[in-house]
Amino acid sequence: MASGYTITQVKVRNGRFTIPASIRRRYGIEPGSQVTFVGLGDSIYLLPPIPEEVLRRWQSLEGEEAVRMARRIVETYRWEASTPAPPGEEVEAMDRGAPAEEYAFVALATVSRRGQVVIPAPLRVRMNGRLKDRIGVADADGTIYLFSPLRDPIREARGMFAGEPNLLVLLLEERARERGR
């Protein structure tokens, strides 16, 4: 099934990020409303609010049962667009493969009046600092994915082209010093 998608990078401060305005408008996410964070393996999903009974049921489960229910939550709860998707590239639906079986986390969070939401601490810990300064937000086929930002090879190489020392130069200089001893 083909669908449009958007990918945006946003800043993270103290575990809080602003949901992009285009996503808030498209799905009708209002200040004071709730969203659901689901961590499944190494994937993080931002879904519409799930009923309290579903959250309590998930909290009562452990191990593989909790993982299976988290996967069902991701498959069941999708954002319904309140406005049509902007015209864009048509792509195949994202297939992220089977998530790691050992981890599942589900929590509700409230959207602030500025459209900000706090990433739950267990998910920040699970991502081991990869969601520290910036995160990527991908909206594809009614599911919002959060991921650590993609590296920009041009930006990383910029220091080398500007004449600043880079790792390769430093390693070569260190090797030359060691050979000179």
Q: Are 58 and 66 in contact (CB under 8 A)?
A: yes
How many structural domains is the chain composed of? 2
Strand-pairing partners, residue 36, are: 47, 108
Confidence at 112, pLDDT banded by 50, 70, 90: very high
Domain co-membership, 128 together with 174: no
What pLDDT, on the 0 to 100 scale, is given for residue 162? 58
Domain with 169 in it: 151-181
Domain co-membership, 19 together with 57: yes
Q: 150 or 21: whose pLDDT is higher?
A: 21
Mean pLDDT of 113-125: 88
The sign one gets for the Cα dihedral 28, 41, 59, 135 is negative
Q: 168 or 21: whose pLDDT is higher?
A: 21
Digit-coded pLDDT (tens) for 46-64: 999 888 888 889 888 888 8
Separation of alpha carbons 70 and 55, rounded Å: 10
Whole-structure pTM value:
0.68
Domain co-membership, 158 together with 127: no
Q: Strand, coil or helix: what is 181?
A: coil
Domain co-membership, 99 together with 167: no
Name which of 133, 135, 109, 110 is nearest 122 in CA terms: 109
Digit-coded pLDDT (tens) for 64-102: 888 888 888 888 888 876 544 444 433 333 334 444 446
Domain co-membership, 146 together with 157: no
CB-side exposure of 53: number of CA atoms within 13 Å?
A: 0
What pLDDT, on the 0 to 100 scale, is given for residue 35? 92
Q: Are 174 and 165 in contact (CB under 8 A)?
A: no
Domain co-membership, 76 together with 163: no
Separation of alpha carbons 123 and 125, rounded Å: 5
Digit-coded pLDDT (tens) for 22-48: 889 888 899 999 999 998 887 889 999
Alpha helices in 15-166 (DSSP H): 21-27, 52-60, 63-76, 121-126, 153-161
Mean pLDDT of 131-153: 78
Q: Are 71 and 15 in contact (CB under 8 A)?
A: no
Q: 142 or 105: whose pLDDT is higher?
A: 105
What pLDDT, on the 0 to 100 scale, is given for residue 93? 33
The sign one gets for the Cα dihedral 64, 118, 151, 25 is positive
Q: 181 or 122: whose pLDDT is higher?
A: 122
Domain co-membership, 101 together with 134: yes
CATH code of the domain covering residue 112: 3.40.1550
